[in-house]
Amino acid sequence: MKANKTSRATPAFEKSLATRPTGKFVLRLFVAGATARSCQAVLRVRQLCEAELKDNCELEVIDIYQQPELARANQIVATPTLIKAFPRPVRRFIGNLLNTTGLFAELDLIPKVKVAL
């Protein structure tokens, strides 16, 4: 009987290992064209990723004019929009990316205790 218990537990264990988070943050930044505001948003998020997340971040920049289907699929209504896709839960930050501390706290990229008020 123990052999049957072990064989039933093995697929569930293997599935949990396969779906285990890798710890790498996946961010998607939606911008509208090559405007000054879009360029500033890209620069700001890249700087934040380098400073706070080091090599633990994957950033995908999506121009809604070039890829409107991705904008629709992600329900983008304004730009710039930064989405933390992984790890879950998914978080969104829309608009001004100048408040970097607030941005990272809202997206749960840094612990709330690091936020200086």
Q: What percentage of residues in the chain have a pLDDT greater than 90?
A: 47
> How many contiguous H segments (helices) and E segments (strands) does the chain have?
4, 4
Mean pLDDT over 55-63 rounds to: 93
CA neighbours within 13 Å on the CB side: how many for 31? 22
The pLDDT mean for the chain works out to 79
Please check the confidence at residue 111 and state whether its pLDDT lies above 70.
no
Neighbours of 81 (CB within 10 A): 23
pLDDT digits (tens, 9 = 90+) for 8-47: 445 554 444 444 345 789 999 999 999 999 999 999 999 8
DSSP 8-class letter at 90: P
Among 79, 74, 86, 105, which residue's Cα sits nearest to residue 24?
A: 86
What are the extents of the domains in the chain?
24-114
pTM confidence score = 0.71
Alpha helices in 19-84 (DSSP H): 36-48, 68-73
Domain 24-114 has CATH 3.30.420.40: no
Radius of gyration in angstroms for the set of CA atoms belonging to the chain, rounded to a whole number = 19
